[in-house]
A and B are shown apart, each in its own frame.
Chain A
């Protein structure tokens, strides 16, 4: 039985990764899971310099999901390189660094710094709904997305995954723009912009007013968008949005994802990533599937 998948020439031992921002730098969950058993670890978004992030409250629970407005707090690329990458290098798993910025120059600086590291791939977050300037603007207009993708591709030494926002009218247009600009892969979905109001205090639940919705509540939207994006482009797609079980993950694979990531459900079940990986194998055995590739895009039309 083969669970390996290849994305832009990089081989993953299984198609299960962590979703950026939900797994720290891997260290925080290494008490719970053996990182060697994951296809890949995707780190929290990192910028050229440290970012403060937003004021608290930054998180709020909603029906079957949660809102977050962390505001991409991060210690900056220097700390990631000095502290987090050596930690991750101890494990036999692929390392993907998620990159954020407020201007194209910010992104390029991080991408260049990562050029001399052992990082396997870069994931470019052009879709965070929680940062006032930059970030999402690049991900909501196809021409901006094309521009930033092509400029990053010129500088990047590693394969580039463009992480798409679901907060757009037509996801296929964005997927095609990233592909045309040379992206090696796509990942989606980032969070859906939402809002929660405390009716007793008459205040917003989040200090930022709006936040990104994630968790099981968004899964059907994510499956639909992954299906659409995967059918619009030839490059591989990494699917995420509410995945907490192998059944969830297999839905994404059948919809066309070449790999999946577990996000908010890590908070519900810190063992979720490994359980998803094991559950995919159980499913493959049950249906006599020899190669996980048979599942990718395998939904009957």
Chain B
């Protein structure tokens, strides 16, 4: 199935932590949605034109349902939080490349999600487990509202870090690696830029492949506008100027490929 703008139906939505919402959408786009990919969600407010990029948290391919978990960050996501089941909404997808499941083949994968970077780890853990792996999942939260922790536990061992120490280990995802004496053979991560930079450095030091999901402001979401680029270490085949498009060449990049 190629990319589409499609009408989806809100199946259910609930608040799972302060300002964090969990929404299931009925859509055929689910049939070809994979971990690390994302959709563009359009606000209904006609003055807000651009699709909001939101990661796939879970894809129920048989049931034709997509789950997204998002934080209210501005007016668009604030509007989404008011959507009720049965309502029809416009989405663009499926966008982006996704995490390379085969790169974890036979290796101990450690998944690291920070804050609103945790949701894509759920579909990723599910796919890795289905492929025969036993992923270790480290979820870094700001405070003790451990959204998605129970869901994640279905697919691997979950460790928790909180910035304020109110649950799990006080610190970040890398503090957990150290304090729990964990070893990774491949890392897959999504979260805020400082976390991704630290993981890139950690991967380089330990010589492990680390796949990072990056974020940037987007307009088209399909590779046409060149709005969402990140610096790459090699000239990529498309731009010829060390600028990969996060929406189409990413959002997932091997850490060595990107200059972050």
- Chain B residues with CB under 8 A of A59: 50, 217-219, 225, 227-228
Q: What's the A-B contact tally at a CB cutoff of 8 Å? A: 110
A60 and B227 CA atoms in complex are apart in Å by 9
Provide the B200-222 mask, 1 if CB < 8 A to any CB of A, else 0: 00000000000000001111111
Q: Chain B: interface residue count, which band?
A: 20 to 34
- Tell me whether chain A's interface is mostly helix, strand or loop, or mixed: loop
Provide the A53-67 mask, 1 if CB < 8 A to any CB of B, else 0: 100111111011110
The answer to whether A76 touches B240, judged by C-beta atoms less than 8 angstroms apart, is yes
Partner of B224, one of A24, A64, A75: A24
The interface stretch among A7-15, A28-36, A233-241, A291-299 is: A28-36
The answer to whether A51 touches B223, judged by C-beta atoms less than 8 angstroms apart, is no
A55 and B242 CA atoms in complex are apart in Å by 12
A205 and B57 CA atoms in complex are apart in Å by 28
Provide the A248-272 mask, 1 if CB < 8 A to any CB of B, else 0: 0000000000000000111111110
A68 and B225 CA atoms in complex are apart in Å by 9
The answer to whether B222 touches A28, judged by C-beta atoms less than 8 angstroms apart, is yes
A215 in the interface (beta carbon within 8 A)? yes
Complex: chain B residue closest to A244, CB-CB = B49
- Tell me whether chain B's interface is mostly helix, strand or loop, or mixed: loop
Complex: chain B residue closest to A59, CB-CB = B227
Q: Can you sample 29 A-B contacts with CB below 8 Å?
A: A21-B226, A22-B224, A24-B223, A29-B224, A31-B2, A31-B4, A32-B4, A32-B5, A32-B222, A44-B226, A50-B240, A50-B241, A51-B241, A57-B216, A59-B50, A59-B218, A61-B49, A64-B49, A66-B50, A68-B225, A73-B226, A73-B239, A73-B241, A75-B238, A75-B239, A75-B240, A266-B220, A267-B219, A270-B5
Which residues of A are interface residues toward B (Cβ below 8 A)? 21-24, 28-29, 31-32, 44, 50-53, 56-61, 63-66, 68, 70, 73, 75-76, 79, 215-216, 264-271
